[in-house]
């Protein structure tokens, strides 16, 4: 299988990974999941592999360890780790190379660490030479900035935080000093501060060991920060590949441009200033305190949302932002304080609110894969709450469904589909359609883009902006600060149950007063620094500004 | 964790109390005269009076129950009508025989079922897996006495004649006659195993698809280690409840099997007692079976809790 190209690579630079024409097909349909991919990564370098879900990037990542998910198969190509061809080897040879030649860092360490085994067992078994295994385990734990004492090694995965779990997964991958490391979206489930720590760890580890890395992600911003070279995958093929700086400043393939455009940029330069005129708020929260049993989660929460405004609730996991939004909508009723909606006090439990109040406050859930009943058609999903909240019979169900779908930018024909026939982005649109079908005045969006790709996220944000222009009030819960600067007029920054900073987005982000806000901004990947100044992006921004100016002129004559 | 166990134990006792109430009401406190119902055609005025006295039928129902329960707490279930022995004395050797039978079935059946289920899961969608699925489905749908009869037909009659069709026993404990135990134990194993096999297969398939098993494979661990260390312990957790249900079922399941093989245990004693309308004996056996049921479930709960590191660690 050895061709002249692989020899060339070896002569100029020792390639840690060299793959040629790798094709993976699915059984029994024989569809090519990835087709004819050729890449090489030199030692000590990181290749960013970017693409949306379904582009085959995880399939490729697993193929690098000669592993195939169920019902898939590598049918062609060669994968060389150092000088060994992985696909030509026997099962035993492949096994010997895993962990030592090539290691894998999974997307969600919470499910990739065995819940029933202590960290000691899981770390040690990754090491084959047993001479000084204990010492090596401690060494690698220190390198990822985790405690190396016995008490820590005796812990189970559930006793660690998400960031610690991911660092254990990193330690587990580096423990055998591999030549190549495959990282499959290792920071997706983490908040920005933890993500910044984990990325720094990965960077320093690859430098220390001279390990080559393949970093898989759908988020251009993270990759731009970390990778030396970037390959863009689309529908199972690498459509563009080049040094990071070149790819960001002068992308060639239209899909690459689309991906770059989708990344929300953190605007710290003032941003949109909300209109000065005082509007009557539709929702006023005063002195809200909430908790679970005896544990207090939220304290002294004051928030106001006016019609046509978007208030972002920004905080990391565990800050209480979901508890707050659930309290407002009446799903969580162990709270005290005032929630006033349109002049009337709302009862804590949604059961005690009137149908009219419930109709006017709608909620969109974080995960569209779990928020839709898989046995109902889209049409019924939209009509059921509508019929219930507007009191009985629906005069013209077809037009209700069609209007709702249209406002969520979906074709009316989607009404006949089942959720499983929709993509993640389309599912979330259906959730939005279901919420806006009842014509609410306040929409609470709980991390509604966090389960979606960056490119889909941009479309959803655009959709929300249009709703907002129609006068709907939004409470947008998120952990993504860049997203806040793109959609909201006001931001409330939530840290361990308290609002530490509250004000217009432009003011808060350009001149943060609280140190927590400053830390959040500092930890967000500096995508703007590498990309925002590029000629391509400047032209996009200019076009966007023009566009919004025209739109604003026509839409708001008053 | 101690707290959880005490909690479960408490609920076990409450259940047992409820069972005792139902047993008492169903056997002794039904409308009409229990004594003449029991004696039927054998009723003579003297025997009726004697029986009424023994069962405290002259007292109000609540008092009858109280007296009966207090006596039961000291293992005094009265005297068996049919044999004339005190019930406790009569049942003790039979209980130990039944427990032996159940223990053999459990010790052989559970590991076998777990292994078969895992094996089936590891060969998912292949011939072995399909065959196992079919056979367990068929066996699960057959009542245990049918299985027993088929086994007798195959192994005890005709040209095979390997094992005796009934348990003749002898003077020693039951385990001293392994040849005679084979068929009853085998029948119970076949009756108990199918749900465990199917559950273990489903659970194992889920675990084998999990990311931590994939991660273990990607670490380069040998398949044997992946299965033994990573997959199996996590797969058994959800199956524990099914095992408990099945083993608890054994307590009731032995009744038909013991009757079929004439095995001298509590099941056979219960059948004979029902024939003879031997009320004290029936009450005692039913309470015993309920007790075994509750204890086995409690044990399964404790094992399940202890196997879950989250519960175990948080209890420290």
| Cα distance between residue B166 and residue B160, in whole Å | 15
CA atoms of A325 and A312, how far apart (whole Å): 11
User: Is there a domain that residue B162 lies in?
Assistant: yes
- β-pairing, A310-314 vs A473-478, is parallel
Smallest CA–CA distance, residue A374 to chain B, in Å, is 21
- For residue B124, the 8-state DSSP code is T
B9 in a structural domain: no
Q: How many angstroms separate the CA atoms of B255 and B269, rounded?
A: 9
> Same domain for A302 and A241?
no
Going by pLDDT thresholds of 50, 70 and 90, the confidence category of residue A6 is very low
Could you tell me if residue A555 is inside a domain? no
At A368 the pLDDT is 86
Reported as a single tens digit per residue, the pLDDT across B163-192 is 888 887 766 777 788 888 889 999 999 999
pLDDT-based confidence at A3, cuts 50/70/90? very low
Task: Report DSSP state, residue A532.
Answer: I
Full residue range of the structural domain in which residue B270 is found:
94-314
Residues of B in contact with A99 (CB under 8 A): 218-220
| CB contact at 8 A, A244 and A229 | yes
Given an 8 Å threshold on Cβ–Cβ distance, is A99 in contact with B220?
yes
Nearest to B115 by CA among B217, B232, B13, B247: B232
Residue A343 shares a structural domain with residue A292:
yes
What local confidence, expressed as pLDDT, does residue A82 receive? Answer: 83
DSSP-assigned states of every residue in A22-57: EEEEETTT--EEEEEEEEEEETT-EEEEE--TTSSH
CA separation for the pair A301, B131 (Å, rounded): 62
Residues whose CB is less than 8 angstroms from the CB of residue A384 and which lie 6 or more positions away in sequence, other chains included: A376
Please give the angle made by the CA atoms of A76, A82 and A84, to the nearest 5 degrees: 55
DSSP string, B5-68: HHHHHHHHHHHHHHHHHHHHHHHTSSSS-HHHHHHGGG--HHHHHHHHHHTTTTS-HHHHHHHH
In degrees, to the nearest 5, what angle opens at C-alpha A79 toward C-alphas A77 and A80? 140
What Å distances lie between residue B14 and A538, B19, B26, B254, B294, CA to CA?
Answer: 74, 9, 18, 25, 10
Residues contacting A108, CB < 8 A, separation 6+: A188, A189, B211
Q: What pLDDT does A532 receive? A: 54
B211 located within any domain: yes
SS3 (DSSP) at B118: helix
Nearest to A433 by CA among A450, A413, A409, A416: A409
- Chain A CA closest to residue B309: A116
Do A106 and A207 reside in the same domain of the chain?
yes
Residue B205 has pLDDT above 80, yes or no: yes
Q: Kindly list the residues from chain B whose CB atom is less than 8 angstroms away from the CB atom of residue A152.
A: none
Is B55 part of a structural domain of the chain?
no
Considering chain A, what is the average pLDDT of its residues? 84
pLDDT over 80 (residue A546): no
User: If we measure between CA atoms, which residue out of A534, A527, A541, A537 comes closest to residue A192?
Assistant: A527
A181 touches chain B (CB under 8 A): no
Asked if the model's pLDDT at residue A1 lies above 60, the reply is no
Complex ipTM > 0.85: no
A252 shares a domain with A113: yes
Do the domain assignments include residue A496? yes
Query: For position B79, what pLDDT does the model report?
Result: 81
Chain B residues near residue A108 by CB distance under 8 angstroms:
211
Lowest mean pLDDT among A413-417, A482-486, B212-216, B222-226: A482-486
Q: Is it true that the peptide bond before B88 is cis, omega within 30 degrees of 0?
A: no
Cβ contact, residue pair B220, A95, below 8 Å? yes
Q: Is A304 within the bounds of a domain?
A: yes
Q: Bridge partners of A290?
A: A298, A335
* A65-84 per-position pLDDT tens digit: 999 888 888 999 999 988 88
Flag if A67 and B233 touch (Cβ within 8 Å): no
Q: Looking at residue A558, what is its pLDDT?
A: 37
- Regarding whether A248 and A303 lie in a shared domain, the answer is no
CATH of the domain at A99: 3.40.50.300
| Local confidence band at B250 (pLDDT 50, 70, 90 cut-offs) | confident
Question: By a Cβ cutoff of 8 Å, what residues of chain B touch chain A?
Answer: 209-212, 214-222, 225, 229-230, 233-234, 307, 309-310, 313
Helix (H, G, I), strand (E, B) or coil at A78: strand
Q: What is the pLDDT of residue A552?
A: 44
Contact A28/B at CB under 8 A? no
The pLDDT tens digits of the residues spanning A485-507 come to 888 999 999 988 899 999 998 88
Specify whether A157 is located in the same domain as A23: yes
Shortest Cα–Cα distance, B238 to chain A (Å): 13
Q: Is the pLDDT of residue A549 over 60?
A: no
Residue A246 counted as domain residue = yes
Measured CA to CA, the distance from residue B226 to residue B230 in angstroms comes to 5
Mutation site for B-interface testing, chosen from A66, A112, A121, A175 by largest number of B Cβ within 10 Å: A112
pLDDT classification of A154: cutoffs 50, 70, 90: very high
Count: domains in chain B: 1
Which of B299, B298, B305, B278 is CA-nearest to residue B39? B278
Question: In this structure, are strands A442-446 and A473-478 parallel, antiparallel, or unpaired?
Answer: parallel
Residues A93 and A139 in one domain: yes
With pLDDT > 70 as the criterion, what percentage of chain B qualifies? 95
Alpha carbon of residue A244 to chain centroid: 21
Helix (H) or strand (E) holding B127: helix B127-141
- Interval A179-206: pLDDT, tens: 999 999 888 767 777 788 888 888 888 8
CB contact set of A522 (below 8 Å; sequence gap of 6+) = none
Tens-place pLDDT, residues B113-128: 999 999 999 998 889 9
Which stretch of DSSP H or E encloses residue B87? Answer: helix B87-122
The pair of three-digit structure tokens given for residue B232, joined into one six-digit string: 């199996």
Helix (H) or strand (E) holding A522, with range, is helix A515-523
Q: Which residues pair with A443 in a beta bridge?
A: A362, A474
**DSSP element (H, E) containing A240:** strand A237-243
For residue A496, the 8-state DSSP code is T
Residue B143 lies in a domain: yes
Contacts of B220 in chain A (CB under 8 A): 95-100, 126, 128
Per-residue pLDDT, A527: 61
State pLDDT tens for residues B18-31. Answer: 988 888 888 776 66
The residues that bridge with A105 in the sheet, in sequence order, are: A183
Lowest mean pLDDT among A330-334, A470-474, A551-555, B219-223: A551-555
The CATH number covering residue B190 comes to 1.10.3720.10
**Contact between residue A56 and residue A239 where contact means Cβ atoms under 8 Å apart:** no
Question: What is the arithmetic mean of pLDDT over A354-381?
Answer: 90
**Chain-chain contact of A126 with B219 (C-beta, under 8 angstroms):** yes
| Nearest CB to B218 within list A100, A104, A108 | A104
In total, the C-beta contacts within 8 angstroms joining chain A to chain B are: 68
Do residues A330 and A247 both lie within one domain? Answer: no
Q: Phi then psi for B233, rounded to 5 degrees? A: -60, -35
Could you tell me if residue B36 is inside a domain?
Answer: no
Q: What is the pLDDT of residue B200?
A: 95
Closest chain A C-alpha to B222 CA, distance in angstroms: 7
pLDDT value at position A537? 56
3-state secondary structure of A280: coil
Considering the entire predicted model, what is its pTM? 0.75
Question: CA B309 → CA A119, A159, B239, B297, B314, distances in Å?
Answer: 12, 10, 16, 20, 8
Region A540-550: mean pLDDT is 56
Mutation to test the A interface, candidates B126, B220, B240, B305, most A Cβ within 10 Å: B220
Residue ranges making up the domain that contains A149 = 4-262
| CA-atom Rg of chain A in angstroms | 25
Whether B70 is covered by a domain: the verdict is no
Find the CB nearest A116 among B214, B225, B234. B234
Nearest to B269 by CA among B285, B252, B280: B285
Which of the four pLDDT bands, split at 50, 70 and 90, describes residue B70?
Answer: confident
* pLDDT at residue A272 tops 90: no
Give the CA distances from residue A1 to residues A77, A85, A168, A178, A505, in Å, rounded to whole numbers and listed in that order. Answer: 8, 9, 37, 24, 58
- Is residue B212's pLDDT more than 90? yes
pLDDT digits (tens, 9 = 90+) for B264-287: 889 899 988 888 888 888 888 988
DSSP letters, B207-253, are HHTSHHHHHHHHTT--HHHIIIIIIHHHHHHHHHHHHHHHHHHHHHH
Nearest CA in chain A to B209: A70
Q: How far apart are CA A362 and CA B298, in angstroms?
A: 45
pLDDT at A4 over 50: no
Query: What is the phi-psi region of residue A250: left when phi exceeds 0, alpha when psi lies from -120 to 50, beta otherwise?
Result: beta
Q: Is the domain of A172 the same as that of A58?
A: yes
Mean pLDDT, chain B, rounded, equals 85
Closest residue by Cα to residue B255 from B167, B145, B153 = B145
Tokens of A386: 């509508």
How many domains are there within chain A? 2
Note the pLDDT of residue A61. 92
Test the A interface: residue of B121, B206, B215, B226 with most A CBs within 10 Å: B215
Counted residue by residue, chain B has a size of: 316
Whole-number Å distance between alpha carbons of A193 and A190: 8
Show contacts of B58-67: CB within 8 Å, 24+ apart.
Answer: B61/B29, B64/B24, B64/B28, B64/B29, B65/B21, B65/B24, B65/B29
pLDDT value of residue A556: 41
Please, which residues have CB within 8 angstroms of residue A339's CB and are 6 or more apart in sequence?
A283, A284, A285, A288, A327, A328, A345, A346, A348
pLDDT at A285: 92
Whether A274 shows a pLDDT value over 80: the answer reads no
On whether residue B152 sits in a domain, the answer given is: yes
User: Is A495 a member of any domain?
Assistant: yes
Q: In this model, does residue B97 exceed pLDDT 80? A: yes
Can you tell me the mean pLDDT for A24-46?
A: 88
With beta carbons less than 8 A apart as the criterion, state whether B215 and A106 touch.
Answer: yes
Q: Which of residues 372-391 of A touch B (CB under 8 A)?
A: none
> Are A317 and A445 within one domain?
yes
In a domain, A272, yes or no: no
Pairing mode, strands A15-26 and A283-292? unpaired
Q: Which residues pair with B13 in a beta bridge?
A: none
**Per-residue pLDDT reduced to its tens digit, B33-48:** 667 777 777 777 887 7
Shared domain for A138 and A235, answered yes or no, is yes
Residue-wise pLDDT for A277-321, tens only, equals: 667 889 999 999 988 877 888 889 999 999 989 999 998 877 888
| Same structural domain, A116 and A193 | yes
């Amino acid at each position: 299988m050895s061709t002249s190209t692989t020899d060339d690579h070896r002569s100029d630079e020792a390639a840690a990974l060299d793959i040629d024409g790798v094709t993976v097909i699915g059984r029994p349909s024989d569809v090519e999941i990835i087709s004819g991919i050729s890449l090489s990564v030199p030692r000590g370098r990181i290749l960013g592999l970017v693409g949306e879900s379904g582009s085959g990037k995880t399939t490729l990542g697993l193929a690098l360890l000669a592993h195939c998910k169920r019902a898939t198969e590598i049918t062609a190509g060669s994968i060389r780790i150092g000088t060994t061809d992985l696909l030509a080897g026997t099962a035993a040879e492949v096994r010997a190379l895993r962990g030592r030649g090539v290691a894998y860092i999974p997307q969600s360490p919470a499910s990739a660490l065995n819940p029933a085994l202590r960290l000691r067992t899981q770390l040690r078994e990754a090491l084959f030479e047993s001479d000084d295994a204990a010492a090596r385990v401690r060494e690698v734990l220190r390198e990822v900035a985790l405690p190396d004492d016995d008490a820590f090694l005796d812990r189970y995965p559930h006793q660690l935080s998400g960031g610690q779990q991911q660092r254990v997964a990193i330690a587990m991958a580096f423990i055998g000093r591999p030549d190549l490391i495959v990282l499959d979206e290792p920071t997706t489930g983490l908040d920005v501060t933890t993500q910044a720590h984990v990325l720094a760890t990965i960077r320093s580890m690859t430098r220390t060991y001279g390990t080559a890395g393949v970093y898989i992600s759908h988020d251009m911003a993270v990759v731009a920060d970390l990778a030396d070279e970037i390959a863009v995958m689309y529908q199972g093929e690498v459509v563009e590949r080049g040094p990071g700086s070149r790819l960001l400043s002068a992308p060639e393939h239209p899909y690459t441009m689309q991906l770059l455009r989708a990344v929300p940029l953190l605007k710290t330069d003032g941003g949109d200033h909300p209109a000065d005129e005082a509007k009557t708020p539709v929702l006023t929260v005063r002195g809200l305190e909430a908790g679970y049993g005896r544990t207090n989660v939220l304290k002294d929460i004051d928030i106001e949302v006016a019609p046509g405004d978007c208030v972002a609730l920004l905080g990391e996991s565990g800050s209480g932002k979901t508890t707050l939004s659930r309290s407002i909508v009446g799903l969580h009723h162990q709270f005290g304080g005032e929630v006033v909606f349109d002049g009337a006090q709302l009862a804590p439990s949604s059961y005690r609110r009137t149908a009219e109040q419930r109709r006017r406050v709608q909620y969109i859930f974080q995960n569209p894969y779990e928020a839709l009943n898989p046995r109902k058609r889209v049409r019924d999903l939209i009509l059921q709450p509508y019929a219930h909240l507007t009191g009985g019979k629906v005069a013209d169900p077809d037009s209700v469904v069609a209007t709702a779908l249209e406002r969520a930018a979906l074709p009316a024909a989607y009404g006949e589909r089942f959720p499983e026939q929709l993509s993640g982005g389309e599912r979330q649109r259906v959730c939005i359609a279901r919420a806006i079908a009842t014509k609410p005045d306040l929409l609470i969006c709980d991390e509604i883009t966090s389960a979606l790709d960056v490119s889909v996220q941009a479309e959803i944000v655009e959709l929300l902006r249009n709703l907002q222009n129609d006068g709907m009030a939004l409470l947008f819960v998120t952990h993504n600060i860049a997203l806040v600067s793109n959609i909201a007029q006001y931001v409330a920054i939530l840290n361990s149950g308290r609002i530490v900073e509250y004000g217009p987005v432009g003011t808060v982000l350009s001149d943060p007063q609280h140190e927590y806000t400053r830390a959040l901004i500092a930890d967000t990947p500096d995508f703007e620094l590498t990309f925002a100044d590029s000629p391509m992006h400047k032209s996009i921004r200019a076009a966007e500004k023009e566009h919004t100016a025209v739109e604003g002129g026509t839409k708001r004559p008053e | 964790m101690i707290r959880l166990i005490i909690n479960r134990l408490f609920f076990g006792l409450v259940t047992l109390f409820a069972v005792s109430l139902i047993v008492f009401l169903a056997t002794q406190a039904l409308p009409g005269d229990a004594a003449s119902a029991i004696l039927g055609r054998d009723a003579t005025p003297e025997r009726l009076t004697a029986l009424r006295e023994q069962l405290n039928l002259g007292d109000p129902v609540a008092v009858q129950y109280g007296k009966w329960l207090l006596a039961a707490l000291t293992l005094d279930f009265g005297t068996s009508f049919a044999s004339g022995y005190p019930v406790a004395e009569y049942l003790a050797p039979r209980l130990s025989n039944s427990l032996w039978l159940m223990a053999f079935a459990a010790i052989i059946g559970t590991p076998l079922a777990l292994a078969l289920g895992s094996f089936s899961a590891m060969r998912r969608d292949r011939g072995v897996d399909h065959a196992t699925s079919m056979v367990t489905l068929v066996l699960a749908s057959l009542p245990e006495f049918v299985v027993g009869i088929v086994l007798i037909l195959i192994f005890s009659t005709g040209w095979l004649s390997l094992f005796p069709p009934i348990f003749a026993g002898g003077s020693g404990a039951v385990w001293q006659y392994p040849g005679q135990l084979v068929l009853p134990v085998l029948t119970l194993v076949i009756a108990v195993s199918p749900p465990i096999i199917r559950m273990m297969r489903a659970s194992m398939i889920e675990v084998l698809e999990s990311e931590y098993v994939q991660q273990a494979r990607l670490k380069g661990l040998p398949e044997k280690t992946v299965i033994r260390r990573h997959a199996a312990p996590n797969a058994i957790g959800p199956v524990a409840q099914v095992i408990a249900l099945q083993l608890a079922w054994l307590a009731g399941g032995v009744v038909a099997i013991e009757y079929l093989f004439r095995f001298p245990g509590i099941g056979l004693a219960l059948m004979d007692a029902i024939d003879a309308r031997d009320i004290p004996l029936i009450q005692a056996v039913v309470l015993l079976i309920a007790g075994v049921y509750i204890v086995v479930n409690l044990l399964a709960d404790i094992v399940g809790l202890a196997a879950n590191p989250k519960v175990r660690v948080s209890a420290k």
